Amino acid sequence: MTLPVVCLHGWGMRGAIFRGIAQPGWITPDLPGYGTSTLPDNATAASLADVLSAQAPDKIILLGWSMGSLIAQAWAARHPQQVEALILVAATPCFQQREKWAHGLPAADVAAFAQGVASDWRATLNRFLSLQARGSEDARSLIAQLRAEISGAGEPRPETLAAGMRLLAETDLRDAVSTLKQPTLLIHGERDGICPLPAAQWLAAQMPNAQLTLIARAAHAPFLSHPQAFNTLVSGFIHAR
């Protein structure tokens, strides 16, 4: 019997972002703070992982995209008996550059996004969407698709966006990565400008049972820009379990 696949979305998005690839039995929740759910005080990747874990089936395959990949890594580390396998898309263990970690966005850029959320969150969210699509094979179409997903699912709350930006700035899971022994498929866009490819290559080298596959001419959202290639990779990985 195929295990349920739980999909965790990225910053500013909703679970509906996966509607184009989700198969029967997949679970695509809104992260806490999105939709009708509430956001725990001082939310961290670990605290969100604990909330989501308590709501999920006993055995799952966990798919995390972008910010969702950080929560997925924390979930797999804290509840290894529940997570049978991982699929990490556009993943990084540490979103922001810091000492001995050059494979993230500069701290000044992350701070600018956080400041932008406080002053004009809609413009900042649109700028982030454009950055996600930059370099993709058809960036204009991808930006339109991302904006349509937000419009269709409902706008995020500014306080949720601010909390998510803090989570991205503060989370550093590098020390936990080697403990993630689950079979793991890393899928990364060749042209990802948000989570640089070296971050995924580092994860693949540090995780005991990980394999990294690139999608050519894709940026930060390969499941939207290249759904057929993405589905082929995921289906093969799941059916091998």
| Residues acting as catalytic residues | 66, 192, 220
CA 206/CA 180 separation, integer angstroms:
9
Which phi and psi angles does 84 have, rounded to 5°? -80, -30
CA 3/CA 78 separation, integer angstroms:
19
Listed residue (182, 170, 178, 221) closest to 202, CA to CA: 178
Cα distances from 3 to residues 6, 25, 59, 111, 125, in angstroms, run 9, 8, 7, 39, 34
Residue type, 126: N
Listed residue (104, 79, 106, 113) closest to 195, CA to CA: 104
